[in-house]
């Protein structure tokens, strides 16, 4: 699935429930930050190896995946509301990063 397909599905889900009136750019940005905080709770006080070990548990991995998905959903809706094409934005940013951080031999 590409970002355009994801956007269509997320917007349809939202619109079917009448939530668009709540999805202002400010509210979506705040919601993305809140969900990112919930994602970070899974990593608080844990070392990298402890986290890698924890995600071997299916329920823990799914809980983390759910939080990542929540962040992506809100960011997708934010991009939609602001008229940002995520496919283009990510491609452009990767190009900028490639110029800024070239491969070193």
Domain ranges of the chain: 3-100
**What mean pLDDT is predicted for residues 69-92?**
97
Crossing angle between the packed helical segments 58-82 and 3-16, to the nearest 10 degrees: 90
Q: Can you tell me the distance from the alpha carbon of 90 to that of 30, in angstroms, rounded to the nearest whole number?
A: 21
Superfamily the domain 3-100 falls into: MazG-like (1.10.287.1080)
State pTM to two decimals.
0.91
pLDDT at 99: 95
**What mean pLDDT is predicted for residues 21-32?**
98
pLDDT at 37: 98
């Amino acid at each position: 699935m590409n970002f355009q397909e994801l956007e269509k599905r997320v917007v349809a889900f939202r619109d079917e429930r009448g939530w668009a009136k709540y999805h202002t750019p400010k509210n979506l940005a705040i919601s993305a930050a809140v969900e990112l905080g919930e994602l970070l709770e899974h990593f608080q006080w844990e070392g990298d190896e402890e986290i890698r070990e924890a995600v071997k548990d299916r329920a823990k991995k799914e809980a983390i995946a759910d939080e990542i998905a929540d962040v992506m959903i809100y960011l997708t809706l934010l991009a939609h509301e602001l008229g940002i094409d995520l496919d283009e934005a990510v491609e452009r940013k990767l190009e900028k990063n490639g110029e800024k951080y070239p491969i070193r031999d």
